[in-house]
Amino acid sequence: MPELNRDPVKQALKPVSFIRHERCGRISFDDALVLQEEAIETYRESGAGLPVIFSLEHDPVITCGRSTNSENLLLTPGEYNERGIDLRNIDRGGDATFHGPGQVVVYPILALKESGLRAGEYIRLLEDTMIVTCAEYGVQAYTRDRYRGCWTDHGKIGAVGAAVKSGGITKHGLAFNVDVDLDFFKLIVPCGIGDSPVTRLVDLAGVEFCEVEDSIVKNISRLLGLEILS
């Protein structure tokens, strides 16, 4: 694991336990949302089923977080629809971002209290997951002051957008660009940040999508101090 550019995320002082991993393939944003909400509801009703990581890639979609500035959407809803891109207003933090094929999306659903993390520490853990993953492929990555996500010297490579629901249960997560078509990002101001290009790992290192997906899941589980159950 590389030396991160800040203090490491605190780990919970508890025995090693497990996190379930579900590889979902390519699915719509709406279907992924149902998976997350069902997992949360099951946990609230029975206390079972968490933590779980859903890893996937989305059909083309632009998601708009609670802080989205409409000026960062450069087309009309109809024009996005004509291009086969869904548009969704969602309950995570942050501005508008794009998800699509070739981008590893990971939704960890967990109870923060059981993980020994505060909300801010959890967001840092998601960023650190992408930094560590980049390092495995010889790519230096880092965070930027005032912004959430993961950057390289070639541009932003990963985004973080999460929500913490009642009971401290997490929802949404991170999106990491592997071989996604970067032209989609030209249709928005990604995350409301106009002064940074967007990049992808395939342009910086020789990678395969499934390999990177596995690395992301492995690294987030390791940072959480959990073993993976597939």
> Distance between CA atoms of 48 and 62, rounded to whole angstroms?
32
Q: Is 191 a catalytic residue?
A: yes
> Does residue 230 have a pLDDT over 80?
no
Q: Give dist(CA 148, CA 90) in Å, integer.
A: 17
Structure tokens at 121: 């520490």
> What's the rounded Cα separation, in Å, for the pair 176 and 167?
27
Nearest 10 degrees: Cα torsion 215, 190, 36, 82: -110
- Could you tell me the CA-to-CA distances from 52 to 18, 95, 224, 228 in Å, in that order? 9, 25, 12, 9
Residue 128 neighbours by CB distance under 10 Å: 24
Spell out the residues 6+ positions from residue 165 whose beta carbon is closer than 8 angstroms to its own: 40, 171
Q: Which of 24, 134, 191, 210 is catalytic?
A: 191
The terminus-to-terminus CA distance of the chain in angstroms comes to 23
Residue 60 has pLDDT above 60, yes or no: yes
Question: Which pLDDT band holds residue 181 (cuts at 50, 70, 90)?
Answer: very high
* Arithmetic mean of pLDDT, 88-94: 93
Tell me how far apart the alpha carbons of residues 2 and 5 are, in angstroms, rounded to a whole number. 9
At the fourth CATH level, the homologous superfamily of domain 19-229 is Bira Bifunctional Protein; Domain 2 (3.30.930.10)
pLDDT at 12: 41
Model pLDDT, residue 49: 92
Show me where the domains of the chain are located.
19-229
By C-alpha distance, which of 44, 32, 220, 229 is closest to 126? Answer: 220
